[in-house]
């Protein structure tokens, strides 16, 4: 992508005033409530929709072995949705804790990752995670492991959605692992960008290993983005050369050339005083008319509640914050944003209602929001505030929209095995 110095449609801004709207402006419906051992719990990844309107997703926990599930939700004519468990993880050998969402190919096969599981080793005592495939058939779904991560040198702990190219190859990131030991602790390395080549029997190729240096990012998180020229873009929640240290995160670009890839940091966060530009961008980026948009979980002019950011300009020489949260309208946007009809939609993990109903989150139960440019002013509308009750709390997965514009997402429950799938009609 050649980042262009021009304004993106509908929400792109120069430096304009951001104004929150306090009234709720959408209908909300819980489509399914997870019950833990019977059908899964703790959904964290972004849902996907197939051509007939079925929703597919993962739960990090729950299921018969409390190792997570893959589920399908099918709409009925009466407005109710029916859940089907496609696969229940046993843990270790087949993977455990699928915290990322899924990707579907043209034949209806599903691909995903688990954060841990696989083969335990000295770097990952519970396994470094796996890439898996689920194939539909007349007698049900068939599960197979495509790749088992080993920590060194191929990465560990894949926690983000993968993407697929036209040839069916898979691309993703691991939060840890790699062949650089500068990042100690849980992550057992600084992370990698990887590719699984379908034509070669799903052989893994490491495209980049992150290092513990100011010139590079660390611990990549979030879905990768392909531009029209074959370049990849992504985010790391740590690393970079912001003015307050190495741990604030980056947006990075990867360019292919003669079979190799070159990584460069487009932007290091906390480059503005008091981190007004944001801190810890862990959700990846989307592209709108040649400009990049994403979320930073922390930072912003209002303190440390997070931002929705815009990145534009040749060689990323200009940066501006699109919107910053102030806790009443949301806080900690750790999920990606969705662009539809000239508007950005998203969720925040915290903020909103401060009644403490959800004991897992101390700064509110989370919100669903939209951002639109109205008369050169960015206006945020809070579409829904989670109560922490039967509706769930703490949404960390992104939103997906159907053809009618209905939005679908997941929320956690008030314990580690609960959670919901919800629908919002703006």
pLDDT tens, position by position, 148-175:
999 988 999 999 999 999 999 999 999 9
Q: In terms of domains, do 95 and 235 share one?
A: yes
Q: In terms of domains, do 105 and 245 share one?
A: yes
Q: What is the pTM of this model?
A: 0.92
The verdict on residue 266 lying in a domain is no
The verdict on residue 385 lying in a domain is yes
What is the CATH number for 231?
2.120.10.30
**What is the per-residue pLDDT for 18?**
47
3-class secondary-structure state, position 186: helix
Give the domain-ending residue among 238, 256, 274.
256
Q: What angle do CA 215, 219, 223 make, to 5 degrees?
A: 110
Q: In terms of domains, do 116 and 28 share one?
A: no
- Residue 97: pLDDT band (50, 70, 90) is very high
**CA 280 to chain CA centroid, nearest Å:** 13
The verdict on residue 176 lying in a domain is yes
pLDDT > 90? residue 286:
yes
Q: In terms of domains, do 100 and 172 share one?
A: yes
The verdict on residue 78 lying in a domain is no
φ, ψ for residue 421, nearest 5 deg = -110, 130
Give the domain-ending residue among 256, 272, 300.
256
The size of the chain, in residues, is 426
pLDDT tens, position by position, 191-213:
999 999 999 899 999 999 998 77
The verdict on residue 415 lying in a domain is yes
Q: In what order do the strands lie in the sheet with 55-59?
A: 48-49, 55-59, 69-75, 81-88
Q: In terms of domains, do 216 and 336 share one?
A: no
177, 116 contact by CB (below 8 A)? no
Q: In terms of domains, do 249 and 124 share one?
A: yes
The verdict on residue 307 lying in a domain is yes
Q: In terms of domains, do 240 and 305 share one?
A: no
HSE of 307, CA atoms in CB hemisphere, 13 A: 27
Count the domains in the chain: 2
Q: In terms of domains, do 5 and 109 share one?
A: no
Q: In terms of domains, do 287 and 251 share one?
A: no
Q: In terms of domains, do 8 and 103 share one?
A: no
Average pLDDT over residues 260-275: 90
Give the domain-ending residue among 206, 241, 256.
256
Q: In terms of domains, do 44 and 116 share one?
A: no
77, 85 contact by CB (below 8 A)? no
**What is the per-residue pLDDT for 225?**
98
Mean pLDDT score of the chain? 88
Domain that holds residue 125: 89-222+224-256
**What is the per-residue pLDDT for 14?**
33
- Here the tokens at position 338 are 């969705």
pLDDT > 60? residue 267:
yes
The verdict on residue 248 lying in a domain is yes
Q: In terms of domains, do 413 and 306 share one?
A: yes
The verdict on residue 243 lying in a domain is yes
Cross-strand pairs, 377: 374
Give the CA radius of gyration of the chain. 20
Highest mean pLDDT: which range of 233-242, 355-364, 375-384:
233-242
């Amino acid at each position: 992508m050649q980042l262009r110095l021009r304004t993106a449609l509908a929400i792109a801004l120069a430096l304009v005033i951001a104004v929150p709207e306090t009234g709720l402006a959408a209908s909300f419906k819980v489509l399914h409530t997870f019950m833990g051992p019977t059908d899964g719990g703790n959904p964290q990844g972004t849902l996907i929709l197939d051509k007939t309107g079925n929703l597919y997703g993962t739960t990090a926990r729950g299921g018969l072995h409390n190792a997570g599930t893959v589920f399908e939700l099918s709409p009925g004519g009466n407005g109710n949705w029916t859940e089907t468990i496609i696969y229940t993880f046993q843990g270790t050998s087949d993977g455990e804790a699928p915290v990322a969402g899924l990707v579907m190919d043209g034949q209806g096969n599903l691909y995903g990752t688990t954060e841990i599981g696989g083969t335990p080793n000295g770097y990952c005592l519970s396994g470094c995670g796996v890439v898996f495939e689920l194939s539909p058939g007349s007698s049900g779904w068939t599960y197979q492991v495509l790749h088992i991560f080993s920590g060194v040198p191929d990465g560990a702990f894949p926690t983000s959605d993968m993407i697929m190219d036209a040839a069916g190859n898979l691309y993703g990131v691991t939060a840890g692992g790699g062949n650089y030991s500068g990042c100690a602790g849980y992550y057992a390395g600084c992370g990698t960008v990887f590719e699984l080549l379908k034509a070669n029997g799903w052989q893994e190729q490491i495209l980049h290993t992150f290092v513990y240096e100011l010139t590079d990012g660390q611990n990549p998180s979030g879905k990768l983005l392909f531009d029209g020229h074959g370049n990849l873009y992504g985010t790391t929640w740590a690393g970079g050369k912001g003015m307050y240290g190495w741990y604030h995160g980056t947006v990075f670009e990867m360019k292919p050339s003669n079979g190799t890839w070159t990584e460069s940091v487009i932007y290091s966060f906390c480059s503005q005083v008091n981190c007004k530009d944001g801190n810890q961008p862990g959700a990846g980026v989307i592209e709108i008319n040649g400009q990049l948009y994403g979320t930073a979980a922390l930072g912003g002019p209002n303190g440390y509640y997070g931002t929705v950011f815009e990145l534009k300009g040749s060689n990323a020489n200009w940066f501006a914050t699109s919107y910053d949260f102030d806790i009443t309208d949301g806080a900690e946007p750790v999920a990606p944003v969705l662009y539809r009809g000239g508007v950005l939609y998203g969720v925040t993990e915290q903020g909103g209602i401060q009644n403490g109903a959800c004991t897992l989150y101390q700064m509110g139960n989370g919100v669903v929001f939209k951002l639109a440019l109205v008369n050169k002013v960015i206006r945020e509308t809070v579409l829904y505030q989670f109560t922490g009750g039967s509706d769930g709390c703490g949404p960390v997965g992104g939103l997906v929209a159907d053809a009618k514009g209905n939005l679908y997402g997941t929320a956690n429950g008030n314990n580690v095995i609960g959670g919901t799938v919800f629908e919002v009609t703006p």
